[in-house]
């Protein structure tokens, strides 16, 4: 899509922003790019002050930035209260979402059980298997290699990229996107130690996924041993995430790559978990919690807390620990110096005591 800078402002107004244009309103804009890569026909943005230096060198046709951020006078500017949200709206308007090609049947049709029901306007590619008693809503897009097991219930606007596997009985809401290689509803780690052997416990629960969830590539969400493993509406997963059996993930959470949540853990609403964070089972992480990268959460976390470290502790405590660790070389040197001084003082004290005892008239008792 191509427009002008004035058109960009009109698009932003449609999304509820109040843009202030500074510069050439007729500047042509055909897309969005980074500060480093933008051409004179693209708009870029500044949301993080760390990149403010790039304003001096960007070739962008316009820059979207906050109301009080300084910028070189030669740049066309669009000032808004929230540049990150505004650039998201512009990416959607100017680029749109990924288009899905029409189904090609010359390689053979999908395998759809006669008892399965699929809503209007489906795009089901060859190599897909849809099992008995599956119900799928309208506008489903299912790429080659996907498998949907018996009895699954799936809402409207499903998008499955190639080689997604959904085990039997899974419940999925509306507008859910699942990327390639992800498995939903596989057995959890359910084994009982009996007679020195690990005896498998049948995993007879299911997985339930809410509306507007997006799950990245190569994730695994275990079915519950009993009951349900739940992923709340609006939650977003990156890639390589493992969710254990019976875990409860709240609404609008954000889990970054390589996060692992053990079975029966409960994650509250709007929780952010950074890369490689891990959560043990049977604890609760409260609402609006942030878990830092590589953190190991071993105890429950109250609402609104930010935790970091192994084991994870409140970030204010972790900052103190980091400060102490950074001072260790200095403290080690200080301790060595004090040990040396103490040794010298002890030697002097012994010498004084020896001199005092050897002197005439000392208090040394006669033998």
The domain that holds 72 is classified in CATH as 3.40.1390.10
Residue 352 lies in a domain: yes
Residue 164 lies in a domain: yes
Q: Are 249 and 332 members of one domain? A: no
Query: For this structure, is 179 an active site residue?
Result: no
Residue 71 resides in a domain:
yes
Q: Which helix (H) or strand (E) holds 9?
A: helix 5-14
Mean pLDDT of all residues in the chain?
A: 93
Question: Residue 296 forms beta bridges with which residues?
Answer: 278
**Angle, vertex CA 131, rays to CA 182 and CA 179, nearest 5:** 20
Same domain, 192 and 236: yes
Domain assignment present for residue 363? The answer is: no
In this structure, the answer to whether residues 8 and 151 fall within a common structural domain is no
The edge-to-edge listing of strands for the beta sheet with 228-231 is: 117-118, 135-136, 153-154, 171-172, 206-209, 228-231, 248-249, 266-267, 284-285
- Average the pLDDT over 189-201 and give the result: 88
Greater pLDDT, 365 or 234: 234
DSSP assignment of 294-358 equals: T-EE-S-B-TT-EEETTTTEEHHHHHHHHHHHHTHHHHHHHHHHHHHHHHHHHHHHHHHHHHHHH
Burial (Cβ within 10 Å: 0-12, 13-18, ≥19) of residue 65: buried
pTM assigned to the model:
0.82
Q: What pLDDT, on a 0 to 100 scale, did the predictor assign at position 253?
A: 98
Mapped onto helix, strand or coil, the DSSP state of residue 119 is coil
The total number of residues shown for the chain amounts to 367
Per-residue exposure over 320-332, b if at least 16 CB sit within 10 Å of its own CB, e if not: eeeeeeeeeeeee
The answer to the question of residue 102 being in a domain is no
Say yes or no: 185 and 234 in one domain. yes
Q: Please, which pLDDT band fits residue 106 given cuts at 50, 70 and 90? A: low
Among residues 15, 74, 95, 245, which one is catalytic? 245
* pLDDT exceeds cutoff 80 at 360: no
pLDDT value of position 279: 97
Whether 363 shows a pLDDT value over 90: the answer reads no
Same domain for 229 and 149: yes
* pLDDT tens track for 239-258: 999 999 999 999 999 999 99
**Domain with 117 in it:** 111-318
Number of domains into which the chain is organized: 3
Domain of residue 212, CATH code = 2.160.10.10
Give the strand order in the sheet containing 165-166.
111-112, 129-130, 147-148, 165-166, 183-186, 220-222, 242-243, 260-261, 278-279, 296-297
How confident is the model over 336-347, as a mean pLDDT?
Answer: 92
261 vs 224: CA distance, rounded Å = 13
Q: What is the pLDDT of residue 367?
A: 47
Task: Indicate the pLDDT class of residue 336, thresholds 50, 70 and 90.
Answer: very high
- The reply to whether 100 falls in a domain is no
Tokens of 296: 């190991």
Averaged pLDDT for residues 19-37: 95
Does 301 share its domain with 176?
yes
What are the phi and psi torsion angles at 356 (to 5°)? -65, -40
Please check whether residues 141 and 277 belong to one and the same domain. yes
Domain end position, chosen among 95, 129, 159: 95
In the predicted structure, residue 326 carries a pLDDT above the cut 60 = yes
Q: What is the pLDDT at residue 354?
A: 85
Measure the CA–CA gap between 13 and 275, rounded to whole angstroms. Answer: 35
The neighbour count for residue 144, using CB atoms within 10 Å, is: 16
Distance in angstroms (rounded) separating the CA atoms of residues 133 and 114: 8
Does residue 361 surpass a pLDDT of 70? Answer: no
Q: Are residues 81 and 223 in the same domain?
A: no
Give the pLDDT confidence score for residue 362 in this predicted structure: 60
Question: Are 182 and 47 part of one and the same domain?
Answer: no
Q: Which two tokens stand for residue 122?
A: 């489906």
């Amino acid at each position: 899509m191509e427009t002008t800078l004035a058109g960009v402002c009109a698009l932003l107004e449609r999304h509820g922003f109040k843009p202030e244009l500074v510069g050439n309103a007729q500047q042509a804009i055909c897309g969005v790019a980074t500060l480093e890569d933008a051409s004179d026909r693209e708009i870029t943005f500044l949301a993080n002050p760390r990149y403010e230096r790039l304003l001096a060198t960007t070739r962008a046709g316009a820059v979207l930035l906050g109301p009080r951020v300084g910028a070189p006078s030669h740049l066309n500017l669009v000032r808004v209260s929230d540049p990150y949200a505004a650039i998201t709206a512009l990416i959607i308007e100017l680029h749109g979402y990924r288009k899905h090609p029409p189904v090609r049947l010359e390689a053979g049709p999908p395998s759809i059980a006669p008892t399965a029901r699929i809503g209007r306007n489906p795009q089901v590619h060859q190599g897909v298997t849809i099992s008995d008693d599956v119900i799928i809503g309208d506008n489903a897009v299912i790429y080659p290699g996907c498998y949907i097991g018996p009895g699954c219930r799936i809402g409207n606007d499903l998008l499955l990229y190639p080689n997604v596997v959904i085990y039997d009985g899974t419940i999925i809401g509306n507008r859910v996107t699942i990327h390639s290689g992800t498995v939903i509803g596989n057995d959890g780690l359910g084994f009982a130690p009996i007679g020195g052997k690990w005896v498998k416990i049948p995993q007879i629960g299911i997985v339930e996924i809410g509306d507007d969830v997006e799950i990245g590539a190569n994730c695994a969400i275990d079915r519950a041993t009993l009951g349900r493993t739940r992923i709340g509406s609006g939650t977003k997963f990156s890639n390589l995430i493992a969710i254990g059996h019976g875990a409860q993930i709240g609404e609008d959470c954000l889990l970054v790559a390589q996060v692992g949540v053990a079975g029966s853990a409960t994650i509250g609403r709007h929780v952010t978990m950074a890369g490689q964070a891990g959560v043990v089972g049977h604890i609760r992480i409260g609402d609006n919690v942030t878990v830092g990268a590589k953190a190991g959460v071993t105890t429950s976390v109250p609402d609104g807390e930010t935790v970091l470290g192994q084991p994870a502790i409140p970030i204010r405590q972790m900052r103190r620990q980091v400060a102490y660790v950074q001072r260790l070389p200095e403290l080690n040197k200080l301790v060595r110096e004090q040990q040396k001084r103490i040794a010298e003082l002890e030697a002097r004290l012994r010498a004084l005591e020896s001199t005092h005892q050897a002197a005439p008239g000392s208090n040394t008792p006669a033998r």
